[in-house]
Amino acid sequence: MATTARTAALRTAVIGYGLGGSVFHAPLVAADPAFELVAIVTSNAERAAEASARYGDVVVVPDAGTLLSRAGAGGLALDLVVITTPNATHAPLAHRALDAGLDVIVDKPFALSAADADELVAHAERAGRRIAVFHNRRWDGDFLTVRALVEGGELGEVRQFESAFEWWKPALGAKNKDVDPAAEGGGILFDLGPHLIDQALQLLGPVDIASGAVHAELDARRSGAVNDDDSFVTLRHASGARSRLWMSAVAPANRPRFRVVGSKAVFTTWGLDPQERQAKAGMDVGDPEFGVDDVSPMGLLETPDGSREIRLERGDYAAFYRGVAEALLTATPTPVDPRDAVAGLAIIAECHRQTP
C-alpha cells in the first residue's frame, strides 16, 4: 500500500459524541500534540453544546455527510476521521471516509462480519489510506500486567486464560446494544466480545474455527431482551491453551477480571481498569494518576511455594493514539492491525451461528 509520511499535526474529526466520542476519542485526540481536533459530528443538540463548550474552536457539524462534503471542496482540511457511532454504521461510514481520501480509525466492532471487515481492509489498501481499530483494552493496566508476566515466563506455560467483564444492569435501557437484534450489531457479544476475544488472541495466539475450537452460550436474561446480555465463549488456541470468556449485564457479583493458570503459577486480578471511570469523572488523560488503579491496584501471584501481590501496571489508552500518530507520520504499521479485528469477528460469527 502506498503511503506518504507526514510531518504536521494530524487534522482529525470525531464522528459520534456519545460515550465513545466524549469519554475516549475526543479527549485522547485533544491531549496528544501530534493531533489537531478540528471537528466533532453529533446530531444531538445537548452533546453539540457540550462539545463546543469543552473544545472551543472545534467545528461541530450535525452529520457525517456534512463533514465529508466539507472535507472535500468545502474548505475543512482533514487527514483522519474517528468513527464512534452505532455499530451497524461503522463499516459504511469507514468506506465513505476512505472514498473521501482520509485515514480512518474505527471503534469496535470494526464491522458486523469478517467479510465486511475484509472489504474495509482491501478498500484502504486500494485507496492508499490507513485504517486501524480502537482495541484500546490492549492497554488496560491489568492486561498489560498479565501480558508482561506471560512474556516474562513467570507463569510458565499458560494453559488457561479466564477473562470476565460483568456488571449489574437488570433492566433494559435505551441504548442500541439493548434493543437492536444481533444482525445490527446489538448484544453484549458485539459490545464486549471484540475486546475479550482480542485480548485472548493477543495473549495466546490464533484459533482454528474450522476445527471446532469455538464454543458459545449466548443468553438473553432480561425481560424483553431481543439479544444476548449474558454470554460465555470458550476458545481452544492452536497452542493448546484454552480461553474462557464471560460477559454479562446481569451479574449481581463479579468473577475475577483475569485468572491465568500456567504450569508454574496462577495470576488473578479483580475489578475493571480505571481509565473509563476516571475519564467519565473528568480526570484529564495527562494527569499522572490517570490509568493508576486506586480501587483494585494489586494482582495476586500464587505458586506451590506461596503467594505475593503484584502492583498492576498503569493503564495507557493514550498509547493507541501515540501509535497511530507514529504510523501516519512515519508510514509504519498501525498499533492495531485491522486483520486482528477480522479474526475476532470470525469468532463472533461462529458464536452467533451456534446460537440461532
CA atoms in the 13 A half-sphere facing the CB of 20: 23
Tell me the pLDDT band of 7, cut-offs 50, 70 and 90: low
CATH of 141-314, one of 3.40.47.10, 3.30.70.890, 3.30.360.10, 3.40.190.10: 3.30.360.10
Mean per-residue pLDDT, 174-188: 78
- pTM confidence score: 0.95
Q: Where are the beta strands (DSSP E) in the chain?
A: 10-15, 35-41, 59-61, 80-83, 103-107, 131-134, 158-166, 214-219, 230-236, 242-248, 258-262, 266-269, 298-303, 306-311
CB 192 within 8 A of CB 344: no
CA-nearest of 212, 108, 237 to 161 is 237
| Burial readout 243-255 (b: 16 or more C-beta within 10 A, e: otherwise) | bbbbbbbbbeebb
Tell me the pLDDT band of 229, cut-offs 50, 70 and 90: very high
Q: Positive or negative CA dihedral for 281, 200, 171, 183?
A: positive
pLDDT of residue 53: 96
CB 91 within 8 A of CB 120: yes
84-99 confidence digits (pLDDT tens): 999 999 999 999 999 9
- Within 8 A by CB and 6+ apart from 56, the residues are none
pLDDT of residue 355: 86
Q: What is the rounded average pLDDT for all residues in the chain? A: 94
Centre a 10 Å sphere on the Cβ of residue 29 and count the other Cβ atoms it contains.
Answer: 27
Q: Which three cell numbers stand for residue 66?
A: 456534512
pLDDT surpassing 80 at residue 14 = yes
pLDDT of residue 180: 73
- Within 8 A by CB and 6+ apart from 225, the residues are 172, 178
Q: Quick check: helix, strand or coil at residue 123? A: helix
d(C-alpha 14, C-alpha 341), whole Å: 20
Parse the chain into domains and list their residue ranges: 10-136+320-333, 141-314
pLDDT surpassing 80 at residue 1 = no
pLDDT surpassing 80 at residue 177 = no
Domain 10-136+320-333 - what CATH class?
alpha beta
The residue count of the chain comes to 356
Mean per-residue pLDDT, 294-309: 97
CB 315 within 8 A of CB 291: yes
Q: Quick check: helix, strand or coil at residue 265? A: coil
- Phi first, then psi, for residue 148 (nearest 5°) are -65, -40
